[in-house]
Homo-oligomer: A and B are copies of this chain.
Amino acid sequence: MSSKKNQTRKKILQATWKMLEESNGQNTKMADIAKTAGISRQAMYLHFDSRIELMIATVKYVDEIKELNKRLELFNAAKTGVEMLNSLVEVWGNYIPEIYSIAKAMLLTKENDEATATAWMGCMSGLRSYCQQTIETIYKEKQLNHNWKIQEAVEILWTYISIHNWEQLTLECNWSNQKFIKNTQTLLHSILLT
């Protein structure tokens, strides 16, 4: 059928991702992406209505490839709340650097664009629900520090494993990714557990 169209679409998505990776999420122009994909700038609009749609599509594309869900098997296998907490931080912490470029692009664009903001919220609400599950389990096991209501604990967890915090600690403070994961685990234990 339109398998040729799909091929080109894929080429564009790959080119977009490549460009984002190379520029750390900034300054990726339609013309540049087109050049990398080996097509004309105008042809981009045969596949995506706008730059923003392309970005959102790229997020989905990368997300499929990176298979966060499969990685979360470790999380799903966890027996206790504390194990859930540890594997959530580990899986997510290892995921961030792989999607950082596209995530960064989204974070910058979402401020000026409603559609991007909505798409990004969708991605983040997935993470948030994992945080919710984790905290609820910890609570049921009577391990949750009495300082915190469940919802507050969820929000703290969600915030402290955010991409912005990862960015600041690894890129600005030069922490290794392992150090980020390890320290975040340790410190969430002190905060959240009895």
A159 on the B face (CB < 8 A) = yes
* B residues less than 8 Å from A183 (CB atoms): 152, 156
Q: A69-114: which residues lie under 8 A (CB-CB) from chain B?
A: 104, 108, 111-112
Q: In whole Å, how far is A23's beta carbon from the nearest beta carbon of chain B?
A: 10
Bound complex: CA A158 to CA B169 (Å):
9
- Residue among A152, A168, A175, A187 with the most chain B CB within 10 A? A187
How many identical chains are in the complex?
A: 2
The verdict on A156 contacting B108 (CB below 8 Å), with A164-B164, A168-B162 known, is no
Q: How many chain-A residues does the 8 Å CB contact rule pick out?
A: 27
Q: What is the bound-complex CA distance between A155 and B165, given in angstroms?
A: 11
Q: When chains A and B are docked, how far (Å) is the Cα of A112 from the Cα of B111?
A: 15
Cα separation A112 to B104 with both chains bound (whole Å):
12
A178 located at the interface, meaning its Cβ lies under 8 Å from any Cβ of chain B in the complex: no
Q: Which residues of A contact B (CB under 8 A)?
A: 25-27, 104, 108, 111-112, 145, 147, 152, 155-156, 158-160, 162, 164-165, 168-169, 173, 175, 183, 186-187, 190-191
